[in-house]
Amino acid sequence: MKKFCLNLKSSDKITFFFTGFNFISLVILLIWVNIIYFFAWYSDQKAESMYDMDINYDMYNSQKSDNNLEAFKEYILKKDTLIIPIDGGELICSNWVETRIHSDVEKIKDKLFYNSWEKIFFIFTQYYDDIWEVKVFFDTTPYVKSQLLIIKISIIIILFLIIIYYFIARIMTKKAFKNMRQFTTDVSHEFKTPLMVIDSQIDLYNKKLEKKKISWNDTNLLLTKVKENTYKLNNLLETFLLLSRLENSLQCLNTQEIDFEEYIKKLVSNSGLLNEKKLKIDYNIFKKTKLKIENNTFNILFENILSNAIKFSKLWWKIEIWSNKTSFWIKDNWAWIEKAKLKKIWKKFYKNDTNKEWFWVGLFIVKRLCELYNWKIEVKSEPWRWTVFIIKFK
């Protein structure tokens, strides 16, 4: 069994665990429901069986006499009963008990049920002064048979549900692991690209160094490329760390007020994101905009939107960053998203088939960060023209 478990794929292990957990839970639920139902039924049947005797005993108590006591005993013995006297004397049986259980009376006087002739009898006990202990035999065979039928039906339903749970778990785990593999591939690709750029620039620099044809421009280009791509790697790393904290609800915000125009221009300038495509930024920012942010989270939010806009914009085109008193937006002038896919881009593992390189986990984080700030984010897109992300902070 251990060897079998070790040979299973992770997705299969999760599937079997999920199915087994649900099976055990349903069985425990079935047992618990039946136990509760049994005790409720037992209490009702005992009260019903003892009801007439308790009324007659109250009548005897109101006029205590030997005649009344004997009359009460005679009434008791008309039922399927057994009387155990207060003085520990000989047991007194009703005709039915004497006929059917005669040889087993001593054995069953301390039992809760009795099985005879394919019938099951529960033995209810009641105590009366001057008589002591009365045992009432109650035929529970119909109840037991109906309960067994219900249990059999419940087991069939449980087995049917387990089969459904198994296939649901299998589909869900396969999809999850497929998404995780895709996510790992995307992450690897995102990290590999800047590393390859750094590596190629260093190789180029070394070759020129060997030929002793190094100029200040070459050194400056190398340092610029290394700095830009190191920045990208750091941003990616911060994004994934933030994703982990958000998933575990560990992120809290220590905000400070900023001048939005000044902060955004400085952020864009330091990021170096525009250098690759020679893009221009068209700023139209409301001068008096003040915003409370936490630097790290806001930087990740803003740069994820901006980097996607840059990635799909054409060379020499422009990115628009505008704001008013209640919101700001980032608009590109080429990238666009099909209307049917606009709501899907916020999903963690969603990938637009028409844009194979779009790293959608960034937009998932953007959405989560907006929720963390209590902001609203919208996206609009015009085919073959533009896409705009609008963040409303009031």
What is the C-alpha separation between 182 and 44, in angstroms, rounded? 61
Task: Give CA 210 to chain center in angstroms.
Answer: 59
* Structure confidence at residue 103 (pLDDT): 63
Among the listed residues 321, 308, 330, the one whose alpha carbon sits nearest the alpha carbon of residue 390: 330
The secondary structure of 194-245 as a DSSP string is HHHHHHHHHHHHHHHHHTT---HHHHHHHHHHHHHHHHHHHHHHHHHHHHHH
pLDDT per residue, tens digit, the chain (394 aa), is 444 444 556 667 778 787 888 888 888 888 888 888 878 887 887 777 777 777 777 776 666 666 777 777 777 777 777 777 766 667 777 777 777 766 666 667 677 767 766 777 777 777 777 777 788 878 778 887 888 888 888 888 888 888 888 888 888 878 777 766 766 776 676 777 778 878 888 888 888 777 777 777 778 878 878 887 887 788 777 777 776 776 665 566 778 899 999 999 988 887 766 666 677 889 999 887 888 888 888 888 898 888 888 877 776 678 899 998 899 999 988 777 888 778 778 876 665 544 444 445 678 778 888 888 889 999 998 888 888 999 998 7
The answer to whether the CB of 323 falls within 8 A of the CB of 285 is yes
What is the C-alpha separation between 63 and 223, in angstroms, rounded? 112
What is the C-alpha separation between 218 and 34, in angstroms, rounded? 82
* Structure confidence at residue 354 (pLDDT): 46
The answer to whether the CB of 330 falls within 8 A of the CB of 267 is no
Among the listed residues 364, 281, 379, the one whose alpha carbon sits nearest the alpha carbon of residue 321: 281
* Structure confidence at residue 274 (pLDDT): 67
- Dihedral of CA 193/196/198/200: which sign? negative
* Structure confidence at residue 4 (pLDDT): 41
Among the listed residues 248, 261, 260, 249, the one whose alpha carbon sits nearest the alpha carbon of residue 372: 249
Please state whether 251 falls in left (phi above 0), alpha (psi between -120 and 50) or beta. beta
Reported as a single tens digit per residue, the pLDDT across 114-160 is 776 677 777 777 777 777 778 887 877 888 788 888 888 888 888 88
Does residue 321 sit in helix, strand or coil? strand
Taking residue 308's Cβ as centre, other Cβ atoms within 10 Å add up to 24
* Structure confidence at residue 134 (pLDDT): 80
* Structure confidence at residue 375 (pLDDT): 93
What is the C-alpha separation between 91 and 89, in angstroms, rounded? 6
* Structure confidence at residue 321 (pLDDT): 93
* Structure confidence at residue 376 (pLDDT): 94
The H or E element containing residue 386 is: strand 386-392
* Structure confidence at residue 104 (pLDDT): 67
User: Does pTM top 0.75 for this prediction?
Assistant: no
Query: How distant, in Å, are the alpha carbons of 19, 259, 266 from that of 291?
Result: 50, 7, 15
* Structure confidence at residue 392 (pLDDT): 94
Task: Give CA 188 to chain center in angstroms.
Answer: 28
What is the C-alpha separation between 236 and 223, in angstroms, rounded? 20
Residues in the chain: 394
> Which tokens is 99 given?
């006929």
User: Which residues, at least 6 apart from 8, have a Cβ–Cβ distance to it below 8 Å?
Assistant: 16
